Amino acid sequence: MKSRVHASAASAAAILVALLAAALPGSASAGTLNGERPIVIAHRGASGYLPEHTMEAYKLAVQMGADFIEPDLFLTADGVLVARHDRSLNTTTNVQAVAATNPAIAAKVMGTAYNVDQLTYAEVKSLTARSRTSNGYQTVDTYFDPAYDYKVAGFSEVLDYVYGIYQSTGDVVGIYPEVKTIGGNPAYNLAIAQALLAALDDAKYGDFFDGHLKNVYLQSFDQSIIQYLNANTNLPAIFLTGCTNTPAQAQAIAQYADGIGTSAGGLSQACVDNAHDAGLTVHAYTLTNNPSQYQTVYDLDVDGIFGNHPDVNKAVRDQIYPVPEPASLVLFGLALAGLGIARRKLV
């Protein structure tokens, strides 16, 4: 009889936990892979407000509450990782104007392009970064200072910045670096991946980037790079690819990747479900400042969205998946405590 009473207490506590969990705002029954709220990823930093891949864009993204910031990575001619999306520097820097008075840089032109892998780190740092001003990039001038000399960010600067935040505040800001590639140059592409892993493993950061804080994702469009990363680190490797339209496609990718990054325009519920069933994370790219688009994509139960306007992204995410209120968390904790007491009585 006594054991039945204790069992009933355990059952009651378990039911209370379940009811409170369901009542907790945002305890959503999130349909994400891990059941947690999806992440807000700042695409190239707050690139809708400031020149992409600059420290200013990354810092603004963090101020706006992004969970992760994304640096695309190339290697300079002297082997330094820098954050650029394009191999050519023409569109996102003033390199052509600088080359007009700098013979050393002018001599490195390939056709009409000044490529990041042909310039030294110092030469890249001598340039001023600028915005594309199209396709959602710097669509708002609120934060932009035309007189300011924005610089291309080095990857070490990005790592130092997020690690510094952790040291000073205890807050964890994630990084989501992409290994960019040059067609026909697999050795160069592999060198980027190797340099990336070495940078994350730098002793000065301790174990901050080793994955235990869930603050690092690695990504690439190149399957061979994803396979290399998967084999050489425990950090999650995300393959940038099309939708997983069949369970078989998802299962095949799951053999060498931890997730997929796919275009929001081609996303479907079946794609997300297939990926999740195969154990794959799903991150969608790239949205701008239209709240209804974020709503539509979050409703598909994706695990995160890349957006150029982190404040808009976060506002929609938080509306769909609110942060639990402190009072609710206290009640939830009491329920868990009650369950623990009931279980101890059964022993």
- 282, β-bridge pairs: 260
Q: What DSSP state is assigned to residue 322?
A: P
Return d(Cα 215, Cα 68) in angstroms, integer: 8
CB atoms closer than 10 angstroms to residue 85: 19
Would you list the DSSP string of 227-261? HHHHHH-SS-EEEE-S---SHHHHHHHTTT-SEEE
Contact 127, 94 (CB under 8 A): yes
Distance between CA atoms of residues 102 and 233, nearest Å: 41
Q: What are the tokens at 11?
A: 């059952």
Q: Considering the candidates 43, 53, 276, 283, report the single residue annotated as catalytic.
A: 43
Q: Is 85 a catalytic residue?
A: yes
Give 218's strand partners. 237
Closest CA to 51 of 165, 114, 187, 145: 145
DSSP letters along 19-39, please?
HHHHHSTT-----STTSSPPE
Give bridge partners of residue 304 from the DSSP assignment: 39, 283
Q: How far apart are CA 310 and CA 235, in angstroms?
A: 24
154 DSSP β-pair partners: 82
> Half-sphere exposure (CA, 13 Å, Cβ side) for 208?
22
Query: Is 156 in a helix, a strand, or coil?
Result: helix
Instruction: Check if the beta carbon of residue 301 is closer than 8 Å to that of residue 32.
Output: yes
Kindly state the DSSP code that residue 97 receives in the 8-state scheme. H
User: Which residues have C-beta within 8 Å of that of residue 241, sequence separation ≥ 6?
Assistant: 221, 223, 253, 260, 261, 262
- Active-site position among 85, 276, 283, 309: 85
Residue type, 25: P
By annotation, the residues acting in catalysis are 43, 85
